[in-house]
A and B are shown apart, each in its own frame.
Chain A
Amino acid sequence: MVSSLPLIEVEKLEAWYGRRRILKNVDFNVHAGEIRVIMGGSGSGKSTLLRHLLGLHRPRSGTIKLLGVDIGHADEAQMLGVRRQIGVSFQGGALLTSLSVGDNVALPLREMTRLDENTIRIMSRLKLEVVNLGGFQELMPAQLSGGMIKRAALARAIVMDPKLLFFDEPSAGLDPVVSAELDELILRLRDALRMTIVVVTHELESAFKIADTITVLDQGEILMTDTVDKVRHANNERIQDLLNRRPRETPVDADAYLRRLTEEHAAPV
């Protein structure tokens, strides 16, 4: 199923927030038809990596290629071309609160295509059926439960039939049953619609269930990228800490500690 054509190619990506280095020399490739899970604890840099992949941040250095286009140097038309072929489901859903669920799902079709209104309505209802939200198009986002919001956001993300789907924290804030249903849905999407899917999560269970390959990110570095089994049995201590929910032991640098306590503008390390 996994072909050799990489849809995402990231080389030597660096990201900084002020003086804090968030991503360190990240190389990252995702091939067509793959479900890749980016796993890591809070503050590991996974959200920053995702924002770079989506073109919401420009890389300080390094290159990001989506579908063969270098998005750090793409012009407006090229970028629009890439955006038409990717779908994103954000952590909180990010549905426009002023529009109904149906209008939210139809939004990309209305704004990015010249289809007529009937086709748009049918296509968006079809996608709502795919995520088991058939008949809910008239409701407003505020009337939906957490799980329904995620599914509606997923429907909007896939309404343009993207080649590449990004999913930020699918199970955050959901109960185990709903999050398991969402995992099933992701697997079904890959099989039925042949999408390449990148999921960012810190939930181990769902990561192991849906992933073909897993990238483990820790403190801005990629620890390993491999199949589920190999990640499970990795020798790396930090990966095992993450898998076994062990608290990290961070070594204390006495000098830096004193500097942080006493100086006004000491740089965070």
Chain B
Amino acid sequence: MDAITRPLESLGRATLKSLAGTGHAAMLLVESIGFALTGWRRGQPVRVPSVFEQMRQIGVDALPITALLALVIGIMLGIQFVAALSEFGAQSQVVIAVAKSVTREFGALITAILVAGRSGSALAARIGSMNVSQEVDALAVIGIDPVRYLAAPALFAMLLMLPALTIFADAIAIFGAAVYSAPALNVTPGAYISQTLALLTPGDIGQGLAKSVVFAILISLIGISTGFSVSGGAEGVGRATTRSVVLSICYIIVADMIFSFFLNR
């Protein structure tokens, strides 16, 4: 009997736990939006300077590494497309292939994975260690709602900065592809880039941006909610940090696939 009930029991427990986690994350989103809209009337305003501070940490500080990664991805795509398409004598299609795959797919995906590793984990670690050292309790008893003080600024900063970083990564990646493929295609890099701009539609960039908004919500909610649910000291903080990165990247990739499917039918 035990052989049947025990796996069922643990399945049930895991289901309940993941449902509770999703519910918690959804509640964080709703509460954050609530604080942004009506917080100032309830004595719980979301402070603009702390949103700016988070924007600096999440966005501006990530510019160099984003630029480096995007450049490398652009060069890599250039190499692959030049090699693959020249087999069919279709070198002229390299420009459009790079332009579409960067703006629709790689720009948003690479930026999101990078930010999940950089800022999603930092959010989980910061809120988790504050939770462990009773700083979250201290905020609550002072009368400062921890969601409005810790979660909302990070969420809104992420929502603003991830799309911005995505546009930036798109541009750098296309530049990287131009630097590699222009000589191979016998055009100047300038001509390559102006051809790219002529071929791209607003829809291509919009697709990447729409994804990045969804990724921003996923990264921040997963980071914040794992941070708030930390228990068990320093080890718990470490586990939450790892968990937030792994979960964020999994959700990002799955969401990306679903998005691509529906947007390209």
The count of residues in chain B whose C-beta lies closer than 8 Å to any C-beta of chain A is 15
Q: Min CB distance, B224 to chain A, in Å? A: 16
B142/A83 in contact, CB under 8 A: yes
Q: A77-B42, A80-B43, A96-B130 are in contact. Are A90 and B143 (CB under 8 A)?
A: no
Name 24 A/B residue pairs within 8 A (Cβ), A-sorted: A55-B140, A55-B141, A77-B42, A80-B42, A83-B142, A83-B143, A86-B141, A90-B138, A91-B134, A92-B133, A92-B134, A94-B133, A95-B135, A95-B138, A96-B135, A107-B142, A107-B144, A108-B142, A108-B143, A111-B142, A111-B149, A112-B43, A112-B143, A156-B142
Bound together, the chains give a CA A108 to CA B142 distance in angstroms of 6
Q: How far is the CB of A51 from chain B (nearest CB, A)?
A: 8
A77-B43, A94-B137, A108-B143 provided; 12 other pairs, C-beta below 8 A? Answer: A55-B140, A55-B141, A76-B42, A80-B43, A88-B141, A97-B135, A107-B142, A111-B143, A111-B144, A111-B149, A112-B142, A156-B142
* Contact code string A106-122 (vs B, CB < 8 Å = 1, else 0): 01100110000000000
Q: Does A58 contact B (CB under 8 A)?
A: no
Total inter-chain residue pairs, C-beta < 8 Å: 54
Minimum CB–CB distance from B193 to chain A (whole Å) comes to: 42
Residues of A within 8 A of B137 (CB): 54, 56, 90, 94
For residue B149, which residues in chain A have a CB less than 8 angstroms away from its CB? 111
The majority secondary structure among interface residues of chain A is mixed
The answer for the CA separation of A95 and B138 in the assembled complex, in Å, is: 8
Tell me, rounded to whole Å, the shortest Cβ–Cβ distance linking B53 to chain A. Answer: 10
Give A156 to B144 CA distance when docked, in angstroms.
Answer: 14
Separation of A90 and B144 alpha carbons in the complex (Å): 16
Residue among B135, B137, B138 facing the most chain A CB atoms (10 A cut-off): B138
B125–chain A nearest beta-carbon distance, Å: 12
Report how far A74 CA is from B43 CA in the complex, Å. 16
State whether B134 touches A94 (Cβ < 8 A).
yes
In the assembled complex, A65 has its CB within 8 A of some CB on chain B: no
A24 at the interface (CB under 8 A from B): no
Interface residues of B in 111-156 (CB under 8 A from A): 130, 133-135, 137-144, 149
A238 interface residue per 8 A CB criterion: no
